[in-house]
Copies of this chain bind each other. A is one copy, B any other.
Amino acid sequence: MSNSFGERYRFTIFGQSHAPAIGVTIEGLPSGFAPDMDALAAFLARRAPGGGPFGTPRKEADAPEFISGLVDGHTCGAPVTALIRNTNTRSGDYDELRRVPRPGHADFAAFMKYGGARDVAGGGQFSGRLTAPLCIAGGLALQLLAKEGVTVRAKIVSIGGETEPAAMQAAMAAAKEAGDSVGGIIQCVCEGVPAGLGEPMFGGMENRIAQAVFGIPAVKGVEFGAGFAVGAMRGSDNNDPFYYDETGAVRTRTNNHGGILGGITSGMPVVFRAAFKPTPSIALEQDSVDLVSHENVKLAVRGRHDACIVLRAVPCVEAAAAAAIYDALLESRGI
């Protein structure tokens, strides 16, 4: 089902932006594992709102409460469920959105799927807030991967088309000043991933990482290694030559394949990029429709919103990648 990811490390996310709580149930954690709760809190803090000038001013502790699966701080083998209470909700901001869908947002699609019963407050189940439970599941996967020598690190490579830090800051400032928003691209590098993870065809690592990463709101593209640039390349440029390194391991001199060949990891770093669209909620007036009066109308979104979601999305990308890789790692042990 749609709110679950993974086969061996499997988690199910629940909640809406303004429901009493959001959370996640995780199956597949080894028993006897003691999560580093401080490290998890630090990881969650990287995506928390209120962290800077370009994020929403909504402030929430986002401290997860573990309600099952732990005994004296150690996993006991039962599924682990963690909750985050939604304490700072302002449903009143969103009444107009029940009638008038925001361009670029899931509002309209949700109306077509769920009808009038859909939860519009704060984006409901489509809110970026649901990436907090993703980060809990992914954050624990990161800790388990670290024990195996695998690291997963994402970074912003461009915002608003700019690739230099100063220019990226300027692009965000200009968008915010204009009541607008701006998109960006995040790159993720996973080192220490053993060769042989993933499966051919639909169970390949590209398939799985893409399935996880497209679960983050606002992602419109995912590419691996040289990515879309391969379309302009020749085989002699794109093929990564093999060689034996000094340790006797097979490596490639370049990494256009992004650590994945035939869906299976090669032992080289897994590298991918995700494109994030600009936050659809902007203060500028936009054309929309009134779903009740059936008229074309103008809309200016009020409320608290990020001028650039990309900043907070970095740990979400790491979380998605870590979950997919750890799931494949567990799977590889059953072969």
Contact = CB atoms under 8 A, between A and B. Distances in A.
Contact of A67 (B8, B21, B226, B284): B21
Interface stretch (A51-59, A119-127, A142-150): A119-127
A151 interface: no
Interface string A274-314: 01111111101011110100111000000000000000000
A11 to B, nearest CB: 10
Nearest to A208: B211
Given A160-B232, A160-B234, 19 more contacts: A2-B27, A4-B27, A16-B69, A23-B67, A76-B119, A76-B125, A77-B117, A104-B240, A109-B264, A112-B196, A130-B201, A185-B231, A202-B212, A204-B214, A220-B228, A227-B275, A233-B277, A243-B289, A244-B294
Interface residues of A, number: 158
A334 B117 contact: no
Contact of A110 (B10, B65, B77): B77
Name the prevailing secondary structure of the A interface residues: mixed
A127 to B, nearest CB: 10
Contact of A242 (B125, B160, B207, B287): B287
A252 to B, nearest CB: 7
Contact of A104 (B21, B180, B221, B257): B257
